[in-house]
Amino acid sequence: MNQDPTGRDRADQRDEPSWHDGPAPAHANPGPPQAAVRGAAAPAAAGQPGWEREAIEKLAYAALSEQRSSRRWKIFFRLAWLVVWGGIAWGLIALGTGSGSGGAGGVNPHTAVVEIDGEISADGETSAMNINAALRRAFEDDQAKAVVLWINSPGGSPVQAGIINDEIHRLKQLHKKPVYAVVDDLCASAAYYIAVAADDIYADKASMVGSIGVLMNGFGFTELMQKLGVERRLQTAGANKGMLDPFSPESPEQKRHVQVMLDQIHQQFIKVVREGRGERLKEDGDTFSGLVWTGENAMDIGLIDHLGSLSYVAREVIKAEKLVDYTERESVSERLARRFGASFASEAVGTVLRNYSLR
Does residue 280 or residue 218 have the better pLDDT?
Answer: 280
- Across 69-78, 176-185, 341-350, least confident range: 341-350
In the predicted model, is pLDDT for residue 290 greater than 90? Answer: yes
In the predicted model, is pLDDT for residue 144 greater than 90? Answer: yes
Q: How far apart are CA 171 and CA 175, in angstroms?
A: 6
Does residue 34 or residue 247 have the better pLDDT?
Answer: 247
Which of 106, 295, 82, 126 minimizes the C-alpha distance to 203? 295
- Evaluate the CA torsion angle 119, 125, 130, 136 in order and state its sign: negative
CB-based contact 310:323 (threshold 8 Å): yes
Q: Quick one: DSSP state of residue 118? A: S
pLDDT for 335 equals 54
Q: How far apart are CA 320 and CA 104, in angstroms?
A: 16
The residues, any chain, with a CB within 8 Å of residue 205's CB and separated by 6 or more, are 294, 295, 296, 307
- Read off the pLDDT of residues 258-273 as tens digits, 9 standing for 90 and up: 999 999 999 999 999 9
Q: How far apart are CA 81 and CA 72, in angstroms?
A: 14
- Read off the pLDDT of residues 321-337 as tens digits, 9 standing for 90 and up: 999 999 998 655 555 55
pTM of the model: 0.65
pLDDT for 332 equals 52
Q: How far apart are CA 68 and CA 54, in angstroms?
A: 21
Q: How far apart are CA 347 and CA 359, in angstroms?
A: 16
Query: Mean pLDDT for the chain?
Result: 80
Q: How far apart are CA 298 and CA 308, in angstroms?
A: 13
In the predicted model, is pLDDT for residue 34 greater than 80? Answer: no
Most confident of 35-44, 103-112, 289-298: 289-298
Q: How far apart are CA 155 and CA 264, in angstroms?
A: 18
Does residue 39 or residue 283 have the better pLDDT?
Answer: 283
Most confident of 25-29, 42-46, 248-252: 248-252
In the predicted model, is pLDDT for residue 31 greater than 90? Answer: no
- Read off the pLDDT of residues 66-125 as tens digits, 9 standing for 90 and up: 888 787 777 887 888 888 887 787 766 555 444 444 445 446 999 999 999 999 999 889
In the predicted model, is pLDDT for residue 50 greater than 90? Answer: no
CB-based contact 164:127 (threshold 8 Å): no
Q: How far apart are CA 23 and CA 340, in angstroms?
A: 104
In the predicted model, is pLDDT for residue 275 greater than 90? Answer: yes
Q: How far apart are CA 270 and CA 164, in angstroms?
A: 16
Q: How confident is the model at residue 359 (pLDDT cuts 50, 70, 90)?
A: very low
51-63: b (≥16 Cβ within 10 Å) or e: eeeeeeeeeeeee
Strand partners, 179: 147
How much of the chain, in percent, has pLDDT values that exceed 70? 73
CATH H-level, domain 100-233+241-328: superfamily: 2-enoyl-CoA Hydratase; Chain A, domain 1 (3.90.226.10)
Strand partners, 209: 187, 293
Q: Quick one: DSSP state of residue 92? A: H
Q: How far apart are CA 322 and CA 106, in angstroms?
A: 14
Number of H helices, E strands in the chain: 10, 8
In the predicted model, is pLDDT for residue 153 greater than 70? Answer: yes
CB-based contact 199:180 (threshold 8 Å): yes
- Across 195-204, 255-264, 330-339, least confident range: 330-339
- Domain positions in the chain are 100-233+241-328
Residue 183, phi then psi, degrees to nearest 5: -90, 130
pLDDT for 297 equals 97
Mutual orientation of helices 51-98 and 332-353 as an angle, nearest 10°? 100
Q: How confident is the model at residue 343 (pLDDT cuts 50, 70, 90)?
A: low
Mean pLDDT, rounded, for 311-322: 96
CA atoms within 13 A on the CB side of 356: 4
86-96: b (≥16 Cβ within 10 Å) or e: eeeeeeeeeeb
Q: How far apart are CA 139 and CA 176, in angstroms?
A: 9
In the predicted model, is pLDDT for residue 277 greater than 80? Answer: yes
Which of 202, 104, 108 minimizes the C-alpha distance to 149? 202
Mean pLDDT, rounded, for 30-57: 54
Does residue 153 or residue 247 have the better pLDDT?
Answer: 153
3-state secondary structure of 203: strand
Mean pLDDT, rounded, for 24-36: 46
